[in-house]
Structure 1
Amino acid sequence: MGKLGRFACIFVPMALTVASLICLILVFSGQLNKNMQIQNDLYFFKANTKDFTTNPDVLENTNIDNILLNSLQHAASSGELKDFYKVGLWNYCEGETDGKGKEKVTYCSPRKASFWFNPIEVWELQNTTADQLFPEKMKDGIEAYHKVSKWMFTAYVIAICLTAAEIVVGIFAIFSRWGSLVTTVVSSAQTIFILAAAITSTALYGALAGTFDSVLRPVKIKASLGSKMLSVVWLGVAFSIASGFFWLVSVCCCSGKSGHKKVVVEKTPYTYERVASPYLGAQQGSSSNVPMHNTGKSGHGTSGSAYEPFRHERV
């Protein structure tokens, strides 16, 4: 099999690792560029505020506090409340929706490590705090989201760094099983962090969307999860788990050493070996025409072709 077989054995886990890295890059790129459609479609959480209303007939049987209603109404009338808000890993983007339902991103906030979406700040609900503005359920949900978002961001950063390291270390796995063993260790750590990040983001934004939706749905503010972003995240997890399995297989298989061994044929002791034709004075390649045993005589003795000489050799 040799080195070529070893390379083929390493190719599969390496390709899966690269695929996992691409998924993480897409996660990091979500909402970073308002002019890129693929990035605009990648978000963890979306608040749709286009249909926001303070119609008394709609709000008659709701429990929303008047302070919250007044603050939202002020934001809507002043133009601070946009039609939608999409939350990524680094920032959020906002924009408008036309009559046909087509969205256009008008602004993306600056990138920030450990970013979290603060509706009071984003919607510019002046002179209010979470204690004054939100009901207990929503306030607790936002506070939990704020705390856990730091860990989630850290997990994603560690995961993408370990994925890059896995690719670099994986190059050395082409040459030996020890390289595969080290790569398997790195891959296992990478799987732990990307899995933790995926679980955290899914649970965190799922809870946040549920909180927003239950509290603000009466005023026609709807919250939802980003299915495309979460699909990319969990696809990256699947690639990571698969690559770890194949890295482990490469530790046990495909050593990289050639399977062909040189065969040495031993000669039997006291055997006879035919002497090459030049020894007989004949032309090269004519030995097959020389009689094996010719007892004929010529002149005063035996001719050069009378007997075929053999060399007696002890091996």
Structure 2
Amino acid sequence: MGKAGRIACIFTPFVLTIASLICIIMVGLGCTKSSSSTLNDLYFMRINLKDISSQGSQTVTEIETILNDYGISGVSASQVSDVLGKLQADSSLADFYQIGLWGYCDGKEDSHNATSVTECSKPQSEFYFDPFAVWGLNSSTVRNELPSEYNKIMNVYKTVSKWMFIAYIVAFAVTLAEIVVGCFAICSRWGSCVTTLFAVLAFLFTTAASVTATVLFSIFKSSLGPTLKAYGIQVSMGTNMFAATWLAVAFSLGALIFWTFSVCCCSGRSPYGPRNEIKSRNLANEKAPYTYEPLGAGQTPYGHQQHTSYPPPVAHGGDLSKSHNNQRSSAYEPFRHA
């Protein structure tokens, strides 16, 4: 098949690896630039505070009804009312906050539910979103009035989010290395073998990061969603971000399968190379039937060494040495049997 066939064989996994890397980059770029509408739609979770003002005007009885509907215990209606009053009085709060891998963005929402991002935080490694630290209420008594389950879940979220960040960084680095090493796979199957090892690591870390993100924010929403809803805070997950991260997993798996296939098939050695020409020529000489070849010195027509102590007969009046040389030069093997 040669080099052209080898290039065609690794084209598919090479493209799939690049597609997986692009998806991972999109996950990392989410919530990093306020002026980009595309990147603003990439977030793991959105926390909407627009309805805090309407919830803050509710009576204690109405708040108790909400707590009972969601089965929230450990917090009283008066405590919820105090928190809502303090949050409502803080005019610096944005209408919504979007959580990304490196940071968060905030913005405003108009009466037609159209959102616009105002600003994004500075990218930070091992980022996790602490609502009360972001809202400037970390030193107030608001945190103490929240249910105990909130602090437990936030501690778990802080720990797991660090592992998620590391998994995405490793997945990006290994996938990039997979592309670089994949260039050497054009030359030989050994290059495909080494590239396949990087493909295995890229698939494992990309899958681990995606599973961690999905489970983490799903638990965050299901556990804290009802509690925060009593305060007028809406929690939702970003479909675009999770679509990008799981597409990265799908592309990485496809690349792994095709890289493994390229190890077993599509050799880069040309069938018209010097070594193959010599082998084919020797094979043709060995298998060609009924060919005539001159005999070597001292050989019989069947390839055996001739042993005799008597010189061949000489014609009358002839030279002995001349007759012997003529007989040797004119001897041919009549047939070569397979």
Residues 156 and 100 (structure 1 numbering): CA distance in 2 closer, same or farther, change over 3 Å? same
Which residue of structure 1 lines up, in the alignment, with residue 292 of structure 2? 269
Which residue of structure 1 lines up, in the alignment, with residue 228 of structure 2? 216
Native 8 Å contact 2:80 2:231 kept in 1: no
Which residue of structure 2 lines up, in the alignment, with residue 200 of structure 1? 212
Between the aligned residues of both structures, percent identity stands at 40
The DSSP-based 3-state class of the residue aligned with 1:223 is strand
Which residue of structure 2 lines up, in the alignment, with residue 225 of structure 1? 237
The one-letter amino acid of 1:183's match is: T
CA deviations over 1:199-251 (Å, ceiling 9, x no partner): 10000111112223110212321101111101100010010111011111010
The DSSP-based 3-state class of the residue aligned with 2:186 is coil
Which residue of structure 1 lines up, in the alignment, with residue 249 of structure 2? 237
The one-letter amino acid of 2:270's match is: S
Which residue of structure 2 lines up, in the alignment, with residue 30 of structure 1? 30
Residues 17-96 of structure 1 correspond to what in structure 2 (within 5 A)? Answer: 17-52=17-52, 53-54=55-56, 55-56=58-59, 58-61=62-65, 62=67, 64-65=75-76, 66-96=78-108
Native 8 Å contact 2:42 2:240 kept in 1: yes
Deviates more, 1:262-271 or 1:90-99: 262-271
Aligned residues: 275
Which residue of structure 2 lines up, in the alignment, with residue 127 of structure 1? 139
Residues 313 and 22 (structure 1 numbering): CA distance in 2 closer, same or farther, change over 3 Å? farther
The one-letter amino acid of 2:182's match is: G
- Residue of structure 2 aligned with 1:166, choices 157, 162, 178: 178
CA deviations over 1:20-59 (Å, ceiling 9, x no partner): 0000000000000011011000000111111121211531
Native 8 Å contact 1:71 1:125 kept in 2: no
Which residue of structure 1 lines up, in the alignment, with residue 200 of structure 2? 188
Native 8 Å contact 1:270 1:313 kept in 2: no
Native 8 Å contact 1:3 1:175 kept in 2: yes
Instruction: Tell me how far apart the structure 2 counterparts of residues 110 and 252 of structure 1 sit (CA, whole Å).
Output: 47
The DSSP-based 3-state class of the residue aligned with 2:97 is strand
Residues 270 and 188 (structure 1 numbering): CA distance in 2 closer, same or farther, change over 3 Å? closer
Deviates more, 1:131-140 or 1:178-187: 131-140
The one-letter amino acid of 1:197's match is: A
Which residue of structure 1 lines up, in the alignment, with residue 319 of structure 2? none
The one-letter amino acid of 2:99's match is: V
Native 8 Å contact 2:16 2:252 kept in 1: yes
Instruction: Tell me how far apart the structure 2 counterparts of residues 171 and 129 of structure 1 sit (CA, whole Å).
Output: 59
Gaps of 5+ in 1: 272-311
Instruction: Tell me how far apart the structure 2 counterparts of residues 12 and 150 of structure 1 sit (CA, whole Å).
Output: 34
Q: TM-score when scaled to structure 1? A: 0.82
The one-letter amino acid of 1:247's match is: W
Residues 220 and 204 (structure 1 numbering): CA distance in 2 closer, same or farther, change over 3 Å? same
**Runs of 4 or more off by more than 6 Å in structure 1?**
none
The DSSP-based 3-state class of the residue aligned with 1:219 is coil
Q: CA RMSD in A?
A: 2.1
Instruction: Tell me how far apart the structure 2 counterparts of residues 164 and 257 of structure 1 sit (CA, whole Å).
Output: 27
Instruction: Tell me how far apart the structure 2 counterparts of residues 187 and 205 of structure 1 sit (CA, whole Å).
Output: 27
Instruction: Tell me how far apart the structure 2 counterparts of residues 72 and 146 of structure 1 sit (CA, whole Å).
Output: 25
Residues 258 and 68 (structure 1 numbering): CA distance in 2 closer, same or farther, change over 3 Å? same
The DSSP-based 3-state class of the residue aligned with 2:246 is helix
Residues 83-162 of structure 1 correspond to what in structure 2 (within 5 A)? Answer: 83-128=95-140, 132-162=144-174
Instruction: Report the structure, 1 or 2, having the larger helix content.
Output: 2
Q: TM-score when scaled to structure 2? A: 0.76
The one-letter amino acid of 1:50's match is: K
Native 8 Å contact 1:212 1:222 kept in 2: no
Residues 270 and 138 (structure 1 numbering): CA distance in 2 closer, same or farther, change over 3 Å? closer
Instruction: Tell me how far apart the structure 2 counterparts of residues 87 and 33 of structure 1 sit (CA, whole Å).
Output: 13
Native 8 Å contact 1:210 1:223 kept in 2: no
CA deviations over 1:261-309 (Å, ceiling 9, x no partner): 54545471169xxxxxxxxxxxxxxxxxxxxxxxxxxxxxxxxxxxxxx
Quote the offset at 1:138 in angstroms: 1.9
